[in-house]
Copies of this chain bind each other. A is one copy, B any other.
């Protein structure tokens, strides 16, 4: 037997106590959005510090302006091993609405589900269960002289409230947190039997435009058609943001957007994404975006322009014949490849201002943007992790994209110049952020085994 076989056997033998530990962790109602639970967040951080100490880490709780950070460090069994930074969060979403839970959200229990036993509690999947898969792998290695990689763990307690304290903490501790690669366990499997590595995350940038015409709201009977109506101007401009093929019409918008590598295209085609079910779930039947792109391409690898909000004039009951002085819209762009957030905003603003008729002024309020994140598919860590996952699950890990962004991944890249390997074991039906959140017991158990294999593979 090799060391990895011993380690996996230890994880199997320890499955019962591992579940007890996760249940202990889940019983702490560490809801970061609620001041009533700030003390519980502290308790969750203390619990992690104790757990880390029990498996050989040097660990401590670090105060911030908000909830504390937990940082732990352990050396590798061998000297020249790679160094990884593992990220997770101990805070959870509020459990509301409470009356929709079948059992109390902070009293974890095992339920029998369609795919076997599952763990039901707030945080079971997001992110306490996922986080503990990694710690259980570390625990198993302890029995055989320590982990194959040097490991730093960083657990925050404000992920569900936008991580307000994280940027300053990363900046102040950059040197101590920098590693060869970051491991982030906050994503999912492709399906219950197929593991996945998320290799692209779309970036985002947003802008808000307000058009102003007259110096006050006018009576449409007196000024109608003679005085410019900013709603007309705004709708004309926004209505031209997409061309007849659904592509974004901003000049230069597709600069830096690359076509999918052939092997990713083939791999995605093989995933047999059921877009009919995906859309049907929200009452839709027809992909609405760029023609000639598969649904998976559209959500994972193509940039978007969406108007997230529009307002102007009278919005109350009935009709008021006002000719409004102002109209506004909030617009956001999902970015891919090497699209530059600042240039996208500049192009949007030029698009708007070049279309303004006389007497209409545009004012813009920008938001900081972030570029897309791409883990190169020929990256060595990715290749090794993929083989390790295949060994555990019996099929190749899907290389998937993510239509949204995971801010910590951008921060690791930007502030610590470090790529992230995104591996997680959540499933689409885990009900994260919803009542009756669950984590498959197989996700928990095979997740721990997966991390053991990945750590071994990274050090091989």
Point out the residues of chain B lying under 8 angstroms from A261, CB to CB: none
Q: Are B310 and A235 in contact (CB under 8 A)?
A: yes
Report the nearest B residue to A311, measured CB to CB. Answer: B315
Query: Which of B202, B225, B314 is close to A299, meaning CB atoms less than 8 Å apart?
Result: B225
**Binary interface profile of A, 207-244, with partner B (CB < 8 Å = 1, else 0)?**
01000011110111111111111011011111111100
Point out the residues of chain B lying under 8 angstroms from A282, CB to CB: 214-216, 218, 223, 227
Point out the residues of chain B lying under 8 angstroms from A290, CB to CB: 225
Q: Is A53 an interface residue (CB 8 A)?
A: no
Q: Is A103 an interface residue (CB 8 A)?
A: no
Give me 13 A-to-B residue pairs in the complex whose CB atoms sit less than 8 angstroms apart, sorted by A's number.
A202-B221, A221-B404, A221-B405, A222-B404, A224-B306, A225-B334, A226-B275, A226-B279, A231-B307, A231-B310, A232-B238, A238-B239, A310-B311
Q: Is A130 an interface residue (CB 8 A)?
A: no
Q: Are A323 and B295 in contact (CB under 8 A)?
A: no
Q: Is A204 an interface residue (CB 8 A)?
A: yes
Q: Is A270 an interface residue (CB 8 A)?
A: no
Range, interface on chain A: 35 or more
Q: Is A324 an interface residue (CB 8 A)?
A: yes
* Copies in the assembly, this chain: 2
Query: Which of B226, B288, B312 is close to A310, meaning CB atoms less than 8 Å apart?
Result: B312
Question: Cα distance A323–B333 when bound, in Å?
Answer: 12
Least CB distance from A168 to B in Å reads 20
Q: Is A304 an interface residue (CB 8 A)?
A: yes
Point out the residues of chain B lying under 8 angstroms from A223, CB to CB: 282, 299, 403
Least CB distance from A430 to B in Å reads 14
Q: Are A239 and B236 in contact (CB under 8 A)?
A: yes
Q: Are B214 and A283 in contact (CB under 8 A)?
A: yes
Point out the residues of chain B lying under 8 angstroms from A240, CB to CB: 239
